[in-house]
Structure 1
Amino acid sequence: MKTTLTILATGVLFGTVAAPALADITVGVSLPLTGPASGLGIPTRNGISLWPETIGGEKVKLIILDDASDSTQSSKNGRRLITDEAVDVIVGSTATPASAALAEVASELKTPQISTSPVELPEAKGEWTFRVAQSTQLMANAVAEHMKRAGIKTYAYLGYSDAYGESWFKAMTAAANQAGLQSVATERFARADTTVTAQALKIMAARPDAVLLGASGSGAAMPHKAMIERGYKGKIYQTHGAASRDLIRIGGKDVEGSFVVAGLAIMPEGLPNEHPSKKLATEFVDRYEKQFGAGTRNQFASHGYDAYLVLNQVVPQALKKAKPGTPEFRAALKEALESTKGIPITQGVIRFTPKDHFGLEDNARVMLTVQNGNWKPVAP
């Protein structure tokens, strides 16, 4: 990596630091590099470290801040990046609550945000936020469809008591109703909790055919193990926030046979050759694992890299209308993002519109199972 890179308030360096801030495009990044969500933020940063030295043919300067998995810090980072550093666009956060806080600042200060989480926002606060992560509803539909095909009639939900957990609860409720599935129990826990014994016992008492765990990163393993340790024999599903090796590493034998809905970069080898993302995803995984080690591929790293793939397509369009470092350029970037005709990324094909700031479709997801300590695609 030759990208001009500035790391502020993180204490973490990566890549090759090129000299002076001579970049034409300034990108601010705010990620959870410490705290409970660091298992999401660090891989995202690693994915960003594979960006080339230019975006859309222009030199780029990266300024990376740690939001410490905290919404208040994320908001402060956003203001600092926009008002003090005059960034043209913000990337992050991978933690959904922190991304929501960043979105409020992006909306207020009219700066495009490329969110690396599937953050759900009120319409008035989401005008400047675009996601490279699959929407929660898109992924929940896949879970409900798989449950229905597996003959499941009843399910329980055990998820985070925050924005990520709530978005999955709402999306799964809608998808389950459509699929004719009955919810028999709903329980929540905080990201920082170290046990969910009480919640697991209540779910066991409801005797659901399947359980969906609405958690992410390494935090997804704890409730999974709790259900297995208490003798649960039904099917267990995980969300795309759990699609990392942390689940397998921490969960061990307890997560064998579970199902995880995920993005394409987890197992690009299983994609058909004609899939528009197969080449991109395969090349990304090869580069990533060469840099960070075999088996390190994950959902979050690919989101970090996908932000580059999107910006690389829209920056040239914005440059036709304004110069970087100006409000006019930020507005032109937003307009260019909303006019995409189909940008292939590692996770699918993005088609943002003024009314759709997610842009990914059914071919941007895959159902995986854990078999012998590794991922295995589940046949459609």
Structure 2
Amino acid sequence: MHFKQAVSTLLLSAACLSFAQADVKVGVITSSTGPIALVGLPQKNSIPLLPTQAGDQPVTYIALDDGSDPTATVKALKKLISEENVDAIIGPSGSPNAMGVIQFVAEAGVPLLAPVGTAAVVLPMNEQKKWVFKTTQNDDLIAKALVEDMGRRGVKTLGFIGTADPYGENWSKVMGALAAEHGIKVVATERFQRQDTSVTGQSLKVLAARPDAVLVAAPGSSAVLPQTTLFDQGYRGQMYQTHGAALPDFLKLGGKKVEGTILAASLMLVLDEIPDSHPSKPVASAYVSAYEKLNGSKPATFGANTYDAGLLLQKAIPVAAAKAQPGTPEFRAALRDALEASHEVPATQGVYTMTPEDHSGFDERGRELIQVKNGAWTLLGGN
């Protein structure tokens, strides 16, 4: 009897140990080639920096490139789910790409941590979007900071140029409502494709409306062309950009033509000017240092959005592992619940507190008002 009990106890202990240390598999989809590679490359380059341990669970990452093509994103995602049996997916890089896979992650019951710009991946919340968590600031959080700055500067009329995709469309919607609330009239609204090499027609229409200020709503390198075109056509009103322009190449490609631009974005752009008391500063500093050591260059905030996804998973995985074994539908459901319960998690971009209604989770600690001054990002204040 005692011998049988001892064997049973030993087997149970071994099973528990195996249960606790099962590998968690995370898929990562980036657009490290193609039109949005300036967004996807820093994300791909951040994958080696993601946590490889979460509590007792080793974490492995399976990385795929979708070439910026939404159709390829769907194919990559299905491969990760059906062939690799992943427990979560980080990615993809582009807003249209992410919008196209929501139904598939919901059907499979796999949490998706989307490092994309548009809030449409999590808003309005529904049965499908409850499987998606967004590691960038929602548009309204950023837009409020911009509109408040416009108010301080006496802006009464605004021109808008945005991408003809979910990113630009949601920004147009959010900005239109906020501007109206603050007595600002949107006098011109234009759209363009990310891959366009000319926006002369759109910018001339904006110029003809003679707005006090212009907002460009575009992610990555596509944010540069509308602004430089307006500059070449003689526009000298105040230029605003969204957090989609928060990358070193915006400064490099825009040069003197983007001087004075105001945007609201991550503290990572102005880390040296942020007080040490900010909970995200040590996390962002560690990430920037590690990225520079690995890649020999500073990271864009897009890479940090992927890194933050890893930090959120690192917190949530042990909670889910206490309820179910990695690799099972029960674990993935528990992981979704644990991500939704994320509370005061400091990361590179701000502090995440998720709720069933808010799957982005940022407050004002996730944005800073920033201006381009002498070719560099400078803290503007007034947040």
If the length of structure 2 is used for normalisation, what is the TM-score? 0.90
In the TM superposition, what is the alpha-carbon distance from 1:68 to its structure 2 partner? 1.4
Match of 2:317 in 1: 315
Question: Which segment drifts farther, 241-250 or 47-56?
Answer: 47-56
Match of 1:73 in 2: 72
In the TM superposition, what is the alpha-carbon distance from 1:96 to its structure 2 partner? 0.7
**Aligned match of 1:372 in 368, 374, 377?**
374
Asked if the contact 1:110–1:331 (Cα under 8 Å) also holds between the matched residues in 2, the reply is yes
Matches within 5 A, 1:108-119: 108-119=107-118
**Aligned match of 2:356 in 334, 341, 354?**
354
Matched, 1:61 2:60: yes
Matched, 1:167 2:170: yes
Partner letter of residue 266 of structure 1?
Answer: L
**Aligned match of 1:306 in 289, 293, 308?**
308
Post-superposition CA distance 1:234-257 (Å, at most 9, x none):
011111111001111111110111
Q: Which has the higher contact order (CA 8 A, sep 6+)?
A: 2
Asked if the contact 2:117–2:244 (Cα under 8 Å) also holds between the matched residues in 1, the reply is no
Structure 1 stretches of at least 4 aligned residues deviating more than 6 Å after TM superposition = none
In the TM superposition, what is the alpha-carbon distance from 1:111 to its structure 2 partner? 0.5
Helix, strand or coil for the counterpart of 1:375?
strand
Alignment size in residue pairs: 358
Match of 1:249 in 2: 252
Q: 2-side partners of 1:340 and 1:52: how far apart?
A: 17
Aligned-CA RMSD value: 1.4
Q: Do the aligned partners of residues 189 and 23 (structure 1) sit closer, same or farther apart at CA in structure 2, a change above 3 Å counting?
A: farther
Match of 2:102 in 1: 103
Match of 1:287 in 2: 290
Match of 1:86 in 2: 85
Asked if the contact 1:116–1:132 (Cα under 8 Å) also holds between the matched residues in 2, the reply is yes
Asked if the contact 1:55–1:308 (Cα under 8 Å) also holds between the matched residues in 2, the reply is no
**Aligned match of 2:341 in 336, 339, 342?**
339
In the TM superposition, what is the alpha-carbon distance from 1:220 to its structure 2 partner? 1.1
Partner letter of residue 170 of structure 1?
Answer: K
Match of 1:14 in 2: none
Q: 1-side partners of 2:309 and 2:367: how far apart?
A: 18
In the TM superposition, what is the alpha-carbon distance from 1:178 to its structure 2 partner? 2.3
In the TM superposition, what is the alpha-carbon distance from 1:23 to its structure 2 partner? 7.0
Post-superposition CA distance 1:320-357 (Å, at most 9, x none):
00011110000000111111222111111111111211
Helix, strand or coil for the counterpart of 1:137?
helix
If the length of structure 1 is used for normalisation, what is the TM-score? 0.91
Match of 1:227 in 2: 230
Asked if the contact 1:46–1:304 (Cα under 8 Å) also holds between the matched residues in 2, the reply is no
Match of 1:7 in 2: none
Q: 1-side partners of 2:140 and 2:103: how far apart?
A: 22
Helix, strand or coil for the counterpart of 2:137?
coil
In the TM superposition, what is the alpha-carbon distance from 1:53 to its structure 2 partner? 2.6
In the TM superposition, what is the alpha-carbon distance from 1:273 to its structure 2 partner? 2.1
Q: 1-side partners of 2:22 and 2:299: how far apart?
A: 30
Identity of counterpart residues, as a percentage?
43
Q: 2-side partners of 1:221 and 1:317: how far apart?
A: 43
Partner letter of residue 194 of structure 1?
Answer: T
Helix, strand or coil for the counterpart of 1:47?
helix
Q: 1-side partners of 2:273 and 2:55: how far apart?
A: 31
Q: 2-side partners of 1:150 and 1:107: how far apart?
A: 44
Match of 2:332 in 1: 330
Pick the structure with greater CA Rg: 2
Asked if the contact 1:56–1:311 (Cα under 8 Å) also holds between the matched residues in 2, the reply is no
Q: 2-side partners of 1:313 and 1:276: how far apart?
A: 16
In the TM superposition, what is the alpha-carbon distance from 1:102 to its structure 2 partner? 2.4
Match of 1:205 in 2: 208
Match of 2:133 in 1: 130
Higher helix share: 2
**Aligned match of 1:194 in 189, 194, 197?**
197
Q: 2-side partners of 1:196 and 1:329: how far apart?
A: 48
Match of 1:237 in 2: 240
Partner letter of residue 198 of structure 1?
Answer: G
Asked if the contact 2:51–2:311 (Cα under 8 Å) also holds between the matched residues in 1, the reply is no
Unpaired segments ≥5 residues, structure 1:
1-21
Q: 2-side partners of 1:140 and 1:286: how far apart?
A: 30
